[in-house]
Amino acid sequence: MSKKKKHPQKTALFVQEGISQPSQLNPNLSSGVGRFKKDRLSVDDIYEGIIGGDRTLLSRGITLIESSLSKDLEEAQLLIQRCLPHSGSSLRIGITGVPGVGKSTFIETFGLNLIRENHKVAVLAIDPSSNRTKGSILGDKTRMEALSVSKNAYIRPSASKGTLGGVARATREALLLCEAAGFDIILIETVGVGQSETAVAQMVDFFLLLMLAGGGDELQGIKRGIMEMADLLVINKADGDNVNKAAMSASGYKNALHLFPALPNGWVPDVMITSAIKNTGVMEVWDKIKEFVSQTKSNGFFDSNRRNQSLEIMNETIEENLKNKFFNDASVIKLLQEYKNQVLNDISNPYEVANKLLKSYYNDVEN
Ligand code: GDP
């Protein structure tokens, strides 16, 4: 022991001092303060990175737009404005289905096939359950391992905070950033058990519902409304002993679909079967999607759908902005709790206090 203390440099526990190595981190990235503890990049840096297809900076951009901090809001808006002219040219595909139906497996197989055809594929998710306390339906497992290491793929888990509206907004904006980064196929995944699939259907060109053979829709937790939104039903896990069952289910669903009202885009949804694990039927799904795109582009629906989505975005942005302004107004904050208590204790009626709050807000705005 004492020997070691005397000649520390001569023991195997000490490394001979050599030439000091430069840090592997860019020193310019490590001086900032704020939310990005290590590095606060400018909008310009992030924008340039995104346009250059840099996936790390794409992630940084998405983190910025997901932020609810007011100091990030302006930069996020600026980034979106700059990326917008470079967006819009991808094909946006929504994929839903109950947990366990094979969404990740399907997306991985499908995505790898598309990359082989020289596409660049981004995968986004909407999973409003995914906040830190509740745990997530889509994000907890290790997913899409082969796809995630491909340089032509980008996988981003769901924004993890906020209401469904907030998560959906962040995903819609992430989609724009992915397009600006050169991804030409964007897959947006969600679970078919809540409201989130409606939000996804409103931001995609094509909506695909994955199902399992055999189970009735009630059993699969799929609401009829979701089936009505789908442009294609896919019965997955059609392999092994399940092949016949899948074929039977498919013809059952085909009959059921005839009873649904026609889709406004003139498209007749079909039912197909796949094995995501064995990669069978998956490229037939892609052929079907291409058929959809060519049909709806020639009948004008593809573009009119995008324009209606833009209108929806405009309305939502206004609503969200007004709501935020209202609830962050000083006099509203001051009065709100008291008025809430009055309503809860039957002292005041809700209309009366709502009007008082609105009046006080408008007074503030006018002055
Ligand atoms: P998700 O919850 O919808 O994302 O489903 P996963 O992709 O995680 O799949 C759930 C389970 O089903 C996993 O064990 C997969 O290996 C399995 N699975 C997915 N697709 C297929 C398929 O085509 N055939 C079979 N036999 N199993 C599959």
With b for 16 or more beta-carbon neighbours within 10 A and e for fewer, the 229-258 pattern comes to bbbbbbbbbbbeebeebbeebbeebeeebe
Note whether residue 154 is domain-resident: yes
Q: State how far the alpha carbon of 100 is from the alpha carbons of 104, 149, 186, 241, in Å.
A: 9, 23, 22, 18
Residues facing residue 270 across a β-bridge: 232
Shared domain for 294 and 320, answered yes or no, is no
**What pLDDT was estimated at residue 13?**
45
Tokens of 287: 């052929």
Residue nearest to atom 15 of ligand 1 (CA): 102
Note whether residue 25 is domain-resident: no
- Ligand 1: which atom is nearest the Cα of residue 101? 3
Distance 150 CA to ligand 1 centre (A): 21
Residue nearest to atom 19 of ligand 1 (CA): 102
Distance 181 CA to ligand 1 centre (A): 30
The CB of 129 under 6 Å from ligand 1? The reply is no
Note whether residue 362 is domain-resident: yes
Shared domain for 211 and 289, answered yes or no, is yes
Q: List the CATH number of the domain containing 155.
A: 3.40.50.300
- Ligand 1: which atom is nearest the Cα of residue 97? 3
- Ligand 1: which atom is nearest the Cα of residue 240? 26
The list of the chain residues with pLDDT below 70 reads 1-39, 128-142, 160-162, 192-194, 215-223
Distance 245 CA to ligand 1 centre (A): 17
Selection from 230, 193, 178 nearest residue 99 by Cα:
193
Cβ atoms < 10 Å from Cβ of 1: 5
Secondary structure (3-state) at 205: coil
Selection from 228, 292, 226 nearest residue 260 by Cα:
228
Residue nearest to atom 7 of ligand 1 (CA): 102
Residue nearest to atom 27 of ligand 1 (CA): 237
Shared domain for 48 and 73, answered yes or no, is yes
Phi-psi label, residue 204: left if phi above 0, alpha if psi -120 to 50, beta otherwise: beta
Among 81, 102, 133, residue at a domain's last position: 81
Shared domain for 139 and 255, answered yes or no, is yes
Of how many residues is the chain composed? 367
| Contact of 156 with 172, CB cutoff 8 Å | no
HEC sequence for 144-203: CHHHHCCCCEEECCCCCCCCHHHHHHHHHHHHHHHHHCCCCEEEEEEECCCCHHHHHHCC
Shared domain for 45 and 183, answered yes or no, is no
Among 81, 100, 134, residue at a domain's last position: 81
- Ligand 1: which atom is nearest the Cα of residue 274? 23
Shared domain for 94 and 168, answered yes or no, is yes
Residues facing residue 236 across a β-bridge: 212
The CB of 281 under 6 Å from ligand 1? The reply is no
Shared domain for 262 and 248, answered yes or no, is yes
Residues facing residue 155 across a β-bridge: 123
- Find the domain containing 54 and state its range: 40-81
Note whether residue 4 is domain-resident: no
- Ligand 1: which atom is nearest the Cα of residue 276? 23
| Contact of 125 with 239, CB cutoff 8 Å | no
Give every CB contact of residue 8 below 8 A, 6+ residues apart in sequence.
14
**Domain count across the chain:** 3
Residues facing residue 275 across a β-bridge: 280
Note whether residue 8 is domain-resident: no
**What pLDDT was estimated at residue 193?**
63
Residue nearest to atom 26 of ligand 1 (CA): 237
Q: Where are the alpha helices (DSSP H) in the chain?
A: 2-6, 43-51, 55-66, 70-83, 103-116, 145-148, 164-180, 196-201, 224-229, 243-258, 282-298, 301-327, 330-344, 350-366
Count Cα neighbours of 312 within 13 Å in the Cβ-side half-sphere: 17
Tokens of 137: 């339906």
Q: What are phi and psi of 155, to 5 degrees?
A: -120, 125
Distance 148 CA to ligand 1 centre (A): 17
Q: List the CATH number of the domain containing 48.
A: 1.20.5.170
Tokens of 257: 């679909």
Distance 223 CA to ligand 1 centre (A): 21
Cβ atoms < 10 Å from Cβ of 279: 15
**What pLDDT was estimated at residue 98?**
86
DSSP 8-state symbol, 280? B
239-295 confidence digits (pLDDT tens): 999 999 999 999 988 888 888 777 778 899 999 999 999 999 999 999 999 999 999
- Ligand 1: which atom is nearest the Cα of residue 99? 2
Note whether residue 139 is domain-resident: yes
The CB of 246 under 6 Å from ligand 1? The reply is no
Q: Please, is 131 exposed, middle or buried when counting C-beta atoms within 10 Å of its C-beta (0-12, 13-18, 19+)?
A: middle
Tokens of 95: 């994929």
The CB of 97 under 6 Å from ligand 1? The reply is yes
Shared domain for 52 and 134, answered yes or no, is no
Distance 317 CA to ligand 1 centre (A): 37
Distance 116 CA to ligand 1 centre (A): 22
Shared domain for 237 and 124, answered yes or no, is yes
Residue nearest to atom 20 of ligand 1 (CA): 102
Shared domain for 198 and 293, answered yes or no, is yes
The CB of 192 under 6 Å from ligand 1? The reply is no
Secondary structure (3-state) at 300: coil
Shared domain for 146 and 125, answered yes or no, is yes
Residue 293 identity (one-letter amino acid)? V
Note whether residue 158 is domain-resident: yes
Note whether residue 262 is domain-resident: yes
Shared domain for 61 and 92, answered yes or no, is no
Q: What is the pTM of this model?
A: 0.82
